[in-house]
Structure 1
Amino acid sequence: MLLALAFGAVGVPAAAVLTTTVTLVGLARQEEGLDSLMRNQILLMVILPAMYAIAAAIESESRTTRELVRTSQNLEVANERLALLARTDELTGLLNRRGLSQTLEFLWAWCVRESKPVAILMVDIDFFHHYNEAYGHSSGDAVLIRIASIMRWSARRKTDLAVRYGGEEFLIVLPDARHDHAQRVADLIHEQVRDLNIEHSGSPVAPILTVSIGMLALAKATAAAETNSIDCCDALLFEAKGKGRNRTVAAQQ
């Protein structure tokens, strides 16, 4: 037992314990002048502690291996969470611009490869700056969260994307969606925002919160269109604002 404690205390690997034991057994067998009873007693004194030491060493190595596996798994989970946080808007839980750029590339490539249509909606809360001034930023954040819920519901198909594009602007990407489907989504967004019935005394458009939408519907996605489609939506949104807000301006290509 003393041998086992000694080996275990210093963390000797099982292979080293076994090698030492074999050496001691060999020496005991070669020792002249020892009767068989004495020799067997010596062997027993060597082998039993060595067995305990080997078992302890194996358990220690196994424990270390389990700890390494657990640490590796924890690191993988942490890295996944960090990656998710990096592409997600903290306030609304929607994708942010970084998440959009990482995901849109693959979705757009799929639409191009399969010759699918695609539609994009850019949504802006009307006079949101005035809302923050009138009701405070905490109320403004609450509004953003509620609008984000509508965006998430509107992009509820598996391949759809809902993005907080920046400030009070949101983006919805609808792969494999034609103009009529995208128009229904835009109409429902207007309807659901009105149904919130959020007072907005700072808006010259309506006494409640409203949104403006720029919508682009492509009959067939192309690689060239990916680079300017969002800019085109932005221009359509600007046109909707110029026409009085609280409306959708759409284009088809």
Structure 2
Amino acid sequence: MDYQSINAQTTDRWVDDGWQWGEPISHEDFERAKRGDWDILLTPTKPVPHEWVGDVRGKRVLGLASGGAQQMPIMAALGAQCTVLDYSTRQCESELEVSQREGYDINVVQADMTQPLPFADDSFDLILHPVSNCYIEQVEPVFRECFRVLSSGGSFLGGYDTGVNYIVDSTETKIVHGLPFNPLVSEEDRLELEQDDGGMQFSHTLEEQIGGQLNAGFVLRSLYEDTNGDGRLHELSIPTFIATWSVKP
């Protein structure tokens, strides 16, 4: 079985077990968003600045690896034309369930973002990409595909793990791994993930993640850092994630 199939099945299991990123927004949150009271997350705790999102009324928005009915229902409530791509059956089902509950249309595409995106050039005005590229080995092709399907002047908003989470033990008190963390190369990394039911995860450098966007042609507008939200690293205020706002010229 290829590693993305393993990850899709793992994500389905996490959703059934109450995973944070698989919990759909409530009807009350949807109604508040319609009134202009909303926030979305791309990283664990810090909301995306509204300036980054802008006015999405009538805009074409892609949620890339963004299933689970968290970001996209908010975009729909704000008047966007929404598409979501995710490889998890349960995450896709949640998107459809919430859209039916709230009465909006969404195009749900179950697919693997490591493959060429099934969209024409210039298909979207905004892409939302919550933390998810830690589940793929090569990130640069994804950035190139995002650049291709985004219209000129469009924004690409993404959340990314910085790699710090992969060097520490489960108590976050000891450095036990070097980088990169790659279960396709390291048997030790693979066995650790299997023991923790962690799917297949990969560390990525800022050079890969920010540099990869720049190499694809994006212009970086802004960024912020975030923590895990709990645990020892969070208690010490050690940032472990970043979010970036990039624009296609």
What range describes the TM-score normalised by the shorter chain of this pair? under 0.3
Larger relative helix fraction: 1
TM-score relative to the length of structure 1? 0.25
The structure with the larger Rg is 1
Structure with more of its chain in strand, by fraction: 2
